[in-house]
Structure 1
Amino acid sequence: MSLIRSILHLLVLVVTVIPYTFGVLLVRALTRNPDAAYRVARAWLRIVVLASRWVLGIRPQIEGLQNLPLHDPAGAVLLAKHQSAYETFLLPAMLPRPIAYVFKKELLAVPFFGWSIGSLDMIHIDRDKPTRAFARVLQQGRRLLAKGTWVIMFPEGTRVPRGAQGEYKSGGTRLAIDAGVPVVPIAVASATVWPPKAFVKRPGVVRMSIGAPIASAGRKPDELMREVEAWIEAEMRRLDPEAYPADPAAAAPSGTPS
Protein backbone atom coordinates (compact mmCIF):
# COMPACT_ATOMS: atom_id res chain seq x y z
CA MET A 1 0.00 0.00 0.00
CA SER A 2 2.85 2.41 0.80
CA LEU A 3 4.31 1.78 -2.66
CA ILE A 4 0.98 2.52 -4.36
CA ARG A 5 0.54 5.68 -2.30
CA SER A 6 4.07 6.81 -3.17
CA ILE A 7 3.43 6.30 -6.89
CA LEU A 8 0.17 8.25 -6.69
CA HIS A 9 1.89 11.06 -4.82
CA LEU A 10 4.60 11.25 -7.47
CA LEU A 11 1.91 11.45 -10.16
CA VAL A 12 0.26 14.35 -8.32
CA LEU A 13 3.61 16.17 -8.22
CA VAL A 14 4.33 15.56 -11.90
CA VAL A 15 0.85 16.54 -13.10
CA THR A 16 0.66 19.72 -11.00
CA VAL A 17 4.23 21.00 -11.32
CA ILE A 18 3.89 21.55 -15.09
CA PRO A 19 1.05 24.12 -15.08
CA TYR A 20 2.39 25.80 -11.96
CA THR A 21 5.84 26.16 -13.53
CA PHE A 22 4.33 27.86 -16.54
CA GLY A 23 2.37 30.05 -14.13
CA VAL A 24 5.54 31.06 -12.27
CA LEU A 25 7.39 31.81 -15.50
CA LEU A 26 4.47 33.76 -16.95
CA VAL A 27 3.93 35.88 -13.83
CA ARG A 28 7.65 36.63 -13.61
CA ALA A 29 7.81 37.60 -17.30
CA LEU A 30 4.73 39.83 -17.14
CA THR A 31 5.31 41.51 -13.79
CA ARG A 32 9.09 41.22 -13.23
CA ASN A 33 7.99 40.81 -9.62
CA PRO A 34 9.71 37.90 -7.86
CA ASP A 35 7.29 38.14 -4.92
CA ALA A 36 4.29 37.54 -7.21
CA ALA A 37 6.04 34.56 -8.79
CA TYR A 38 6.89 33.26 -5.32
CA ARG A 39 3.21 33.28 -4.35
CA VAL A 40 2.40 31.08 -7.36
CA ALA A 41 5.21 28.68 -6.47
CA ARG A 42 4.08 28.62 -2.84
CA ALA A 43 0.58 27.62 -3.93
CA TRP A 44 2.07 24.55 -5.63
CA LEU A 45 4.08 23.67 -2.53
CA ARG A 46 0.89 23.79 -0.46
CA ILE A 47 -0.65 21.31 -2.92
CA VAL A 48 2.35 19.03 -2.42
CA VAL A 49 1.99 19.20 1.37
CA LEU A 50 -1.76 18.55 1.15
CA ALA A 51 -1.16 15.63 -1.21
CA SER A 52 1.36 14.27 1.26
CA ARG A 53 -1.36 14.34 3.91
CA TRP A 54 -4.22 12.88 1.86
CA VAL A 55 -2.30 10.47 -0.38
CA LEU A 56 0.67 9.43 1.75
CA GLY A 57 -0.90 9.91 5.17
CA ILE A 58 1.92 12.24 6.28
CA ARG A 59 0.99 15.20 8.43
CA PRO A 60 3.18 17.82 10.12
CA GLN A 61 3.20 18.60 13.82
CA ILE A 62 4.89 21.94 14.37
CA GLU A 63 6.01 23.43 17.67
CA GLY A 64 7.44 26.88 18.32
CA LEU A 65 5.68 28.95 15.67
CA GLN A 66 5.53 31.73 18.26
CA ASN A 67 9.33 31.91 18.10
CA LEU A 68 9.37 33.21 14.54
CA PRO A 69 10.51 36.88 14.47
CA LEU A 70 7.38 38.13 12.73
CA HIS A 71 7.53 41.65 14.15
CA ASP A 72 11.12 42.25 13.05
CA PRO A 73 11.08 43.96 9.63
CA ALA A 74 14.55 42.63 8.88
CA GLY A 75 15.07 39.08 7.76
CA ALA A 76 16.50 36.13 9.63
CA VAL A 77 18.66 33.14 8.77
CA LEU A 78 16.79 29.89 9.41
CA LEU A 79 19.11 26.93 10.03
CA ALA A 80 17.29 23.62 9.70
CA LYS A 81 17.95 19.92 10.06
CA HIS A 82 17.63 18.24 6.66
CA GLN A 83 16.48 14.62 6.50
CA SER A 84 14.24 14.52 3.42
CA ALA A 85 12.64 16.53 0.64
CA TYR A 86 9.51 16.94 2.76
CA GLU A 87 10.80 19.92 4.75
CA THR A 88 11.85 21.70 1.56
CA PHE A 89 8.18 21.59 0.54
CA LEU A 90 6.75 22.25 3.99
CA LEU A 91 8.81 25.27 5.10
CA PRO A 92 7.81 27.66 2.26
CA ALA A 93 4.23 26.37 2.40
CA MET A 94 3.75 27.08 6.11
CA LEU A 95 6.04 30.02 6.89
CA PRO A 96 4.28 33.41 6.84
CA ARG A 97 7.22 35.33 5.31
CA PRO A 98 8.80 34.92 1.86
CA ILE A 99 11.79 32.61 2.08
CA ALA A 100 14.87 32.06 -0.04
CA TYR A 101 16.76 28.79 -0.15
CA VAL A 102 20.49 28.48 -0.68
CA PHE A 103 20.69 25.51 -3.04
CA LYS A 104 23.11 23.77 -5.39
CA LYS A 105 22.96 24.94 -9.01
CA GLU A 106 22.44 21.37 -10.27
CA LEU A 107 18.79 21.66 -9.25
CA LEU A 108 18.28 24.26 -11.97
CA ALA A 109 18.56 21.46 -14.55
CA VAL A 110 15.59 19.53 -13.14
CA PRO A 111 12.74 19.92 -15.66
CA PHE A 112 9.95 22.25 -14.55
CA PHE A 113 10.88 22.26 -10.85
CA GLY A 114 14.36 23.63 -11.56
CA TRP A 115 13.05 26.12 -14.09
CA SER A 116 10.59 27.39 -11.50
CA ILE A 117 13.04 27.89 -8.63
CA GLY A 118 15.55 29.37 -11.06
CA SER A 119 13.11 32.20 -11.78
CA LEU A 120 12.56 32.95 -8.09
CA ASP A 121 14.63 35.28 -5.94
CA MET A 122 16.77 32.61 -4.30
CA ILE A 123 20.47 31.80 -4.07
CA HIS A 124 21.95 29.02 -6.20
CA ILE A 125 25.61 28.19 -5.75
CA ASP A 126 28.35 26.12 -7.38
CA ARG A 127 29.66 23.79 -4.68
CA ASP A 128 32.77 23.07 -6.75
CA LYS A 129 33.83 26.69 -6.27
CA PRO A 130 33.37 27.25 -2.51
CA THR A 131 35.03 30.68 -2.34
CA ARG A 132 32.86 32.14 -5.10
CA ALA A 133 29.84 30.31 -3.73
CA PHE A 134 30.18 31.87 -0.29
CA ALA A 135 30.77 35.32 -1.77
CA ARG A 136 27.49 34.89 -3.65
CA VAL A 137 25.71 33.79 -0.48
CA LEU A 138 26.91 36.93 1.32
CA GLN A 139 26.06 39.29 -1.53
CA GLN A 140 22.62 37.88 -2.35
CA GLY A 141 21.87 37.04 1.28
CA ARG A 142 22.46 40.60 2.49
CA ARG A 143 20.11 41.94 -0.18
CA LEU A 144 17.35 39.45 0.61
CA LEU A 145 17.63 39.85 4.37
CA ALA A 146 17.54 43.64 4.04
CA LYS A 147 14.10 43.44 2.43
CA GLY A 148 12.74 41.12 5.12
CA THR A 149 13.13 37.75 3.41
CA TRP A 150 14.03 34.75 5.56
CA VAL A 151 17.01 32.86 4.16
CA ILE A 152 16.95 29.11 4.82
CA MET A 153 20.13 27.07 4.93
CA PHE A 154 20.83 23.47 5.87
CA PRO A 155 24.08 23.69 7.86
CA GLU A 156 24.90 19.99 7.37
CA GLY A 157 24.89 20.63 3.63
CA THR A 158 22.84 17.63 2.55
CA ARG A 159 20.20 15.19 3.74
CA VAL A 160 21.30 13.01 6.63
CA PRO A 161 19.81 9.63 7.61
CA ARG A 162 17.56 9.23 10.62
CA GLY A 163 19.56 9.33 13.82
CA ALA A 164 22.70 10.63 12.09
CA GLN A 165 24.55 13.89 12.51
CA GLY A 166 26.49 15.58 9.76
CA GLU A 167 29.18 18.22 10.00
CA TYR A 168 27.66 21.61 10.77
CA LYS A 169 29.29 24.29 8.61
CA SER A 170 29.31 27.94 9.66
CA GLY A 171 28.19 29.56 6.39
CA GLY A 172 24.73 30.38 7.78
CA THR A 173 26.04 31.99 10.94
CA ARG A 174 28.62 33.95 8.95
CA LEU A 175 25.83 35.36 6.79
CA ALA A 176 23.75 36.26 9.85
CA ILE A 177 26.65 38.02 11.56
CA ASP A 178 27.57 39.86 8.35
CA ALA A 179 23.97 41.03 7.83
CA GLY A 180 23.28 41.73 11.51
CA VAL A 181 20.25 39.44 11.75
CA PRO A 182 19.38 36.61 14.15
CA VAL A 183 19.51 32.90 13.43
CA VAL A 184 16.56 30.60 14.08
CA PRO A 185 17.34 26.90 14.65
CA ILE A 186 14.84 24.33 13.37
CA ALA A 187 14.76 20.61 14.16
CA VAL A 188 12.85 18.36 11.74
CA ALA A 189 12.31 14.62 12.22
CA SER A 190 11.02 13.82 8.73
CA ALA A 191 13.02 10.63 8.09
CA THR A 192 10.65 8.68 10.33
CA VAL A 193 8.22 8.60 7.39
CA TRP A 194 10.19 10.00 4.44
CA PRO A 195 13.74 8.56 4.49
CA PRO A 196 16.38 10.48 2.52
CA LYS A 197 16.52 9.44 -1.15
CA ALA A 198 13.80 6.82 -0.60
CA PHE A 199 10.94 6.46 -3.06
CA VAL A 200 8.53 4.67 -0.72
CA LYS A 201 7.16 6.84 2.06
CA ARG A 202 5.22 5.71 5.13
CA PRO A 203 2.19 7.34 6.79
CA GLY A 204 2.84 9.12 10.04
CA VAL A 205 3.72 12.40 11.71
CA VAL A 206 6.65 14.69 10.88
CA ARG A 207 7.57 16.55 14.03
CA MET A 208 9.17 19.97 13.65
CA SER A 209 10.38 22.31 16.37
CA ILE A 210 11.30 25.97 15.83
CA GLY A 211 13.69 27.45 18.37
CA ALA A 212 13.87 30.98 19.70
CA PRO A 213 15.90 33.47 17.61
CA ILE A 214 19.54 33.75 18.62
CA ALA A 215 21.12 37.18 18.24
CA SER A 216 24.26 37.24 16.08
CA ALA A 217 25.70 40.58 17.23
CA GLY A 218 29.12 40.22 18.78
CA ARG A 219 29.28 36.48 18.09
CA LYS A 220 31.88 34.42 16.26
CA PRO A 221 30.57 32.21 13.42
CA ASP A 222 31.90 28.90 14.74
CA GLU A 223 30.79 29.61 18.30
CA LEU A 224 27.30 30.59 17.17
CA MET A 225 27.03 27.51 14.97
CA ARG A 226 28.01 25.27 17.87
CA GLU A 227 25.11 26.73 19.85
CA VAL A 228 22.75 26.11 16.92
CA GLU A 229 24.08 22.57 16.51
CA ALA A 230 23.69 21.78 20.21
CA TRP A 231 20.08 22.98 20.22
CA ILE A 232 19.09 21.14 17.03
CA GLU A 233 20.71 17.84 17.99
CA ALA A 234 19.24 17.92 21.52
CA GLU A 235 15.84 18.72 20.07
CA MET A 236 16.12 15.90 17.52
CA ARG A 237 16.58 13.47 20.39
CA ARG A 238 13.44 14.79 22.00
CA LEU A 239 11.40 14.68 18.79
CA ASP A 240 12.58 11.23 17.70
CA PRO A 241 14.09 9.43 20.71
CA GLU A 242 13.85 5.99 19.07
CA ALA A 243 16.38 7.06 16.42
CA TYR A 244 19.15 7.73 18.91
CA PRO A 245 20.83 5.13 21.13
CA ALA A 246 20.54 5.60 24.86
CA ASP A 247 23.54 7.08 26.63
CA PRO A 248 25.29 4.09 28.27
CA ALA A 249 26.52 6.31 31.11
CA ALA A 250 22.97 7.43 31.85
CA ALA A 251 21.71 3.86 31.75
CA ALA A 252 24.46 2.48 34.04
CA PRO A 253 23.56 1.82 37.70
CA SER A 254 24.63 4.56 40.09
CA GLY A 255 26.26 2.22 42.59
CA THR A 256 27.44 -1.33 43.11
CA PRO A 257 25.31 -3.94 44.87
CA SER A 258 26.11 -4.50 48.53
Structure 2
Amino acid sequence: MNTPLLYIRATLYWIGLLTSTVFYGLFSPLLLMLGPKLSYRTVLPWTHFNIWWLKVTCGVNYNIIGKENIDLNNRGIILANHQSTWETMLIPTLLPTTSWVLKKELTWIPFFGWALITTKPIAIDRKSGASAVEQVKKRGKERLDEGNWICMFPEGTRVLPGQKKAYRMGAALLAEYSGYPVYPLAHNAGECWPRHSYIKLPGTITVSIGKPFSVEGLTAEQINDMVRNWIEAEIEKMPPAVKK
Protein backbone atom coordinates (compact mmCIF):
# COMPACT_ATOMS: atom_id res chain seq x y z
CA MET A 1 0.00 0.00 0.00
CA ASN A 2 3.03 2.32 -0.17
CA THR A 3 1.65 4.25 -3.10
CA PRO A 4 2.66 7.81 -4.03
CA LEU A 5 -0.82 8.98 -2.99
CA LEU A 6 -0.28 7.70 0.57
CA TYR A 7 2.97 9.66 0.78
CA ILE A 8 1.27 12.81 -0.47
CA ARG A 9 -1.56 12.46 2.02
CA ALA A 10 0.89 11.78 4.84
CA THR A 11 2.93 14.84 3.88
CA LEU A 12 -0.16 17.02 4.11
CA TYR A 13 -0.86 15.59 7.55
CA TRP A 14 2.70 16.19 8.79
CA ILE A 15 2.56 19.78 7.58
CA GLY A 16 -0.61 20.37 9.59
CA LEU A 17 0.80 18.61 12.65
CA LEU A 18 4.06 20.55 12.63
CA THR A 19 2.36 23.88 12.00
CA SER A 20 -0.13 23.42 14.83
CA THR A 21 2.63 22.22 17.18
CA VAL A 22 4.79 25.26 16.50
CA PHE A 23 1.77 27.54 16.96
CA TYR A 24 0.94 26.14 20.40
CA GLY A 25 4.60 25.92 21.34
CA LEU A 26 5.10 29.62 20.72
CA PHE A 27 2.37 30.38 23.24
CA SER A 28 3.69 27.97 25.88
CA PRO A 29 5.22 30.74 28.05
CA LEU A 30 1.78 32.34 28.28
CA LEU A 31 0.20 28.98 29.07
CA LEU A 32 2.47 28.60 32.08
CA MET A 33 0.86 31.74 33.53
CA LEU A 34 -2.63 30.25 33.19
CA GLY A 35 -2.07 27.32 35.53
CA PRO A 36 -2.23 23.60 34.62
CA LYS A 37 -6.01 23.22 34.43
CA LEU A 38 -6.64 26.19 32.15
CA SER A 39 -3.50 25.41 30.15
CA TYR A 40 -4.77 21.89 29.56
CA ARG A 41 -8.09 23.17 28.22
CA THR A 42 -6.27 25.68 26.03
CA VAL A 43 -3.97 23.05 24.50
CA LEU A 44 -6.75 20.49 24.01
CA PRO A 45 -7.86 21.92 20.62
CA TRP A 46 -4.42 20.88 19.32
CA THR A 47 -5.32 17.22 19.82
CA HIS A 48 -8.82 17.64 18.37
CA PHE A 49 -7.40 19.37 15.30
CA ASN A 50 -4.75 16.75 14.61
CA ILE A 51 -7.14 13.82 15.00
CA TRP A 52 -9.56 15.56 12.63
CA TRP A 53 -6.77 16.52 10.21
CA LEU A 54 -5.58 12.89 10.14
CA LYS A 55 -9.08 11.82 9.11
CA VAL A 56 -9.26 14.49 6.39
CA THR A 57 -5.81 13.92 4.91
CA CYS A 58 -5.18 10.21 5.49
CA GLY A 59 -8.64 8.70 5.96
CA VAL A 60 -7.97 7.47 9.51
CA ASN A 61 -11.23 7.26 11.48
CA TYR A 62 -12.00 5.67 14.83
CA ASN A 63 -14.75 3.98 16.83
CA ILE A 64 -14.95 4.07 20.62
CA ILE A 65 -16.54 1.25 22.61
CA GLY A 66 -17.33 1.75 26.29
CA LYS A 67 -16.91 5.50 26.50
CA GLU A 68 -19.73 5.50 29.05
CA ASN A 69 -17.44 3.52 31.40
CA ILE A 70 -15.43 6.65 32.14
CA ASP A 71 -16.97 8.16 35.25
CA LEU A 72 -15.79 11.76 35.26
CA ASN A 73 -16.80 12.03 38.91
CA ASN A 74 -14.58 9.11 39.88
CA ARG A 75 -11.12 10.00 38.60
CA GLY A 76 -8.56 7.28 38.30
CA ILE A 77 -5.64 5.86 36.37
CA ILE A 78 -5.96 5.12 32.65
CA LEU A 79 -3.74 2.18 31.68
CA ALA A 80 -3.51 1.63 27.93
CA ASN A 81 -1.49 -0.34 25.44
CA HIS A 82 0.93 1.70 23.36
CA GLN A 83 1.21 1.21 19.59
CA SER A 84 1.55 4.66 18.04
CA THR A 85 1.42 8.41 18.58
CA TRP A 86 -2.30 8.48 17.79
CA GLU A 87 -3.54 7.29 21.19
CA THR A 88 -1.55 10.04 22.94
CA MET A 89 -3.75 12.50 21.05
CA LEU A 90 -7.07 10.75 21.55
CA ILE A 91 -6.94 9.96 25.27
CA PRO A 92 -6.75 13.61 26.41
CA THR A 93 -9.97 14.34 24.50
CA LEU A 94 -11.81 11.79 26.67
CA LEU A 95 -10.83 13.21 30.04
CA PRO A 96 -10.65 16.36 32.14
CA THR A 97 -7.21 17.52 33.26
CA THR A 98 -4.77 14.66 32.80
CA SER A 99 -1.18 14.19 33.91
CA TRP A 100 0.94 11.86 31.79
CA VAL A 101 3.77 9.74 33.10
CA LEU A 102 6.45 10.09 30.44
CA LYS A 103 10.17 10.13 29.83
CA LYS A 104 11.67 13.53 30.60
CA GLU A 105 13.31 13.74 27.16
CA LEU A 106 9.90 14.52 25.65
CA THR A 107 9.81 17.83 27.52
CA TRP A 108 13.02 18.87 25.74
CA ILE A 109 11.41 18.81 22.27
CA PRO A 110 11.08 22.38 20.94
CA PHE A 111 7.52 23.70 20.87
CA PHE A 112 5.86 20.32 21.66
CA GLY A 113 7.77 19.79 24.89
CA TRP A 114 7.31 23.38 25.98
CA ALA A 115 3.55 23.10 25.68
CA LEU A 116 3.64 19.66 27.31
CA ILE A 117 5.24 21.08 30.45
CA THR A 118 2.23 23.33 31.01
CA THR A 119 -0.01 20.27 31.56
CA LYS A 120 2.00 19.25 34.65
CA PRO A 121 3.23 15.81 33.52
CA ILE A 122 5.25 13.40 35.65
CA ALA A 123 8.52 13.43 33.73
CA ILE A 124 10.93 10.72 34.84
CA ASP A 125 14.41 9.47 34.03
CA ARG A 126 13.83 5.84 33.14
CA LYS A 127 17.50 5.05 33.79
CA SER A 128 17.14 5.89 37.47
CA GLY A 129 15.38 2.59 38.25
CA ALA A 130 13.79 2.37 41.69
CA SER A 131 14.04 6.13 42.09
CA ALA A 132 11.84 6.65 39.02
CA VAL A 133 9.21 4.26 40.40
CA GLU A 134 9.10 6.19 43.68
CA GLN A 135 8.62 9.41 41.73
CA VAL A 136 5.71 7.88 39.84
CA LYS A 137 4.06 6.69 43.05
CA LYS A 138 4.43 9.90 45.04
CA ARG A 139 3.90 12.45 42.28
CA GLY A 140 1.13 10.36 40.75
CA LYS A 141 -0.83 10.29 43.99
CA GLU A 142 -0.27 14.03 44.41
CA ARG A 143 -1.71 14.70 40.95
CA LEU A 144 -4.71 12.44 41.63
CA ASP A 145 -5.36 14.12 44.98
CA GLU A 146 -5.21 17.50 43.20
CA GLY A 147 -8.03 16.41 40.88
CA ASN A 148 -6.08 15.18 37.86
CA TRP A 149 -6.40 11.90 36.06
CA ILE A 150 -3.26 9.88 35.38
CA CYS A 151 -2.47 8.14 32.10
CA MET A 152 0.26 5.54 31.68
CA PHE A 153 1.44 2.98 29.14
CA PRO A 154 2.59 -0.08 31.13
CA GLU A 155 4.53 -1.43 28.14
CA GLY A 156 6.80 1.60 28.40
CA THR A 157 7.29 1.95 24.66
CA ARG A 158 5.39 1.54 21.41
CA VAL A 159 4.80 -2.09 20.45
CA LEU A 160 3.98 -3.30 16.96
CA PRO A 161 0.49 -4.81 16.44
CA GLY A 162 0.56 -8.54 17.01
CA GLN A 163 3.59 -8.37 19.27
CA LYS A 164 3.59 -8.51 23.05
CA LYS A 165 5.85 -6.92 25.63
CA ALA A 166 6.04 -7.42 29.36
CA TYR A 167 4.16 -4.80 31.36
CA ARG A 168 6.31 -2.77 33.69
CA MET A 169 5.25 -2.55 37.31
CA GLY A 170 5.29 1.24 37.75
CA ALA A 171 1.64 1.78 36.80
CA ALA A 172 0.40 -1.06 38.98
CA LEU A 173 2.52 0.12 41.91
CA LEU A 174 0.98 3.59 41.58
CA ALA A 175 -2.51 2.08 41.63
CA GLU A 176 -1.68 -0.04 44.68
CA TYR A 177 -0.07 2.92 46.48
CA SER A 178 -2.73 5.51 45.65
CA GLY A 179 -5.84 3.35 45.95
CA TYR A 180 -7.47 5.06 42.96
CA PRO A 181 -9.46 2.92 40.48
CA VAL A 182 -7.94 1.67 37.23
CA TYR A 183 -9.56 2.17 33.82
CA PRO A 184 -8.12 -0.22 31.20
CA LEU A 185 -8.05 0.97 27.59
CA ALA A 186 -7.22 -1.07 24.49
CA HIS A 187 -6.85 -0.04 20.84
CA ASN A 188 -5.31 -1.07 17.51
CA ALA A 189 -4.04 2.35 16.37
CA GLY A 190 -0.71 0.87 15.30
CA GLU A 191 -2.36 -0.72 12.29
CA CYS A 192 -3.11 2.72 10.81
CA TRP A 193 -0.19 4.62 12.31
CA PRO A 194 2.67 2.09 12.51
CA ARG A 195 5.65 2.84 14.69
CA HIS A 196 8.33 4.89 12.87
CA SER A 197 6.16 5.01 9.75
CA TYR A 198 5.92 8.17 7.66
CA ILE A 199 2.70 7.16 5.93
CA LYS A 200 -0.64 6.61 7.67
CA LEU A 201 -2.91 3.86 6.37
CA PRO A 202 -6.61 4.65 5.89
CA GLY A 203 -8.94 2.66 8.12
CA THR A 204 -10.95 2.68 11.33
CA ILE A 205 -9.18 2.36 14.66
CA THR A 206 -11.10 0.60 17.43
CA VAL A 207 -10.79 1.92 20.98
CA SER A 208 -12.27 -0.09 23.86
CA ILE A 209 -12.58 1.31 27.38
CA GLY A 210 -13.25 -1.11 30.21
CA LYS A 211 -15.23 -0.57 33.37
CA PRO A 212 -13.09 0.72 36.23
CA PHE A 213 -12.03 -1.80 38.79
CA SER A 214 -11.21 -1.21 42.42
CA VAL A 215 -7.64 -2.00 43.48
CA GLU A 216 -8.54 -2.39 47.12
CA GLY A 217 -6.94 -5.54 48.52
CA LEU A 218 -5.01 -6.26 45.32
CA THR A 219 -1.25 -6.46 44.98
CA ALA A 220 0.60 -4.64 42.21
CA GLU A 221 1.24 -7.99 40.52
CA GLN A 222 -2.48 -8.80 40.50
CA ILE A 223 -3.34 -5.36 39.14
CA ASN A 224 -0.74 -5.72 36.40
CA ASP A 225 -2.07 -9.15 35.40
CA MET A 226 -5.69 -7.96 35.32
CA VAL A 227 -4.86 -4.99 33.09
CA ARG A 228 -2.66 -6.99 30.71
CA ASN A 229 -5.15 -9.84 30.38
CA TRP A 230 -8.06 -7.48 29.73
CA ILE A 231 -6.19 -5.41 27.13
CA GLU A 232 -4.83 -8.44 25.26
CA ALA A 233 -8.27 -10.10 25.19
CA GLU A 234 -9.90 -6.91 23.86
CA ILE A 235 -7.34 -6.49 21.10
CA GLU A 236 -7.94 -10.09 19.98
CA LYS A 237 -11.66 -9.30 19.48
CA MET A 238 -11.13 -6.12 17.47
CA PRO A 239 -11.82 -6.05 13.73
CA PRO A 240 -8.83 -5.14 11.53
CA ALA A 241 -8.33 -1.40 11.37
CA VAL A 242 -7.08 -1.51 7.79
CA LYS A 243 -9.06 -3.40 5.17
CA LYS A 244 -6.94 -5.54 2.87
Band of TM-score, shorter chain: over 0.9
Q: Can you list the C-alpha shifts for 1:23-73, whole angstroms capped at 9, x where unaligned?
A: 3321323x3x1111111211111111111111111111100011112232x
Q: Is the 8 A contact 2:188 2:241 kept in 1?
A: no
Following TM superposition, by how much is the alpha carbon of 1:214 offset from its aligned partner in structure 2, in angstroms?
A: 1.1
Following TM superposition, by how much is the alpha carbon of 1:112 offset from its aligned partner in structure 2, in angstroms?
A: 0.7
TM-score of the superposition, structure 2-length normalised? 0.93
Q: Is the 8 A contact 1:83 1:189 kept in 2?
A: yes
Instruction: Please give the alpha-carbon distance, in whole angstroms, between the structure 2 residues aligned to 1:242 and 1:86.
Output: 13
Q: Which runs of 5+ in 2 are unaligned?
A: none
SS at match of 1:166: coil
Q: Is the 8 A contact 1:84 1:191 kept in 2?
A: yes
The size of the alignment, in residue pairs, is 238
Residue 121 of structure 1 corresponds to 120
Residue 86 of structure 2 corresponds to 86
Residue 252 of structure 1 corresponds to none
Instruction: Tell me whether 1:48 sits opposite 2:50 in the alignment.
Output: yes
Q: Can you list the C-alpha shifts for 1:195-252, whole angstroms capped at 9, x where unaligned?
A: 1111111111110000010111110001111011111000000014699xxxxxxxxx
Q: Is the 8 A contact 1:24 1:40 kept in 2?
A: no
Residue 63 of structure 2 corresponds to 61
Q: What is the aligned counterpart of 1:12 among 5, 12, 16?
A: 16
SS at match of 2:190: coil
Instruction: Please give the alpha-carbon distance, in whole angstroms, between the structure 1 residues aligned to 2:41 and 2:27.
Output: 10
Query: What letter corresponds to residue 26 of structure 1 in structure 2?
Result: L
4+ runs deviating over 4 angstroms: 240-243
Residue 37 of structure 2 corresponds to 35
Q: Is the 8 A contact 1:8 1:55 kept in 2?
A: yes
After TM superposition, list the pairs within 5 Å mapping 1:149-228 onto structure 2: 149-228=148-227
Instruction: Please give the alpha-carbon distance, in whole angstroms, between the structure 1 residues aligned to 2:116 and 2:49.
Output: 16
Question: Cα distance 1:241–1:194, how it changes in 2: closer, same or farther (>3 A)?
Answer: closer
- Larger-Rg structure: 1
SS at match of 2:227: helix
Q: Percent identity?
A: 34
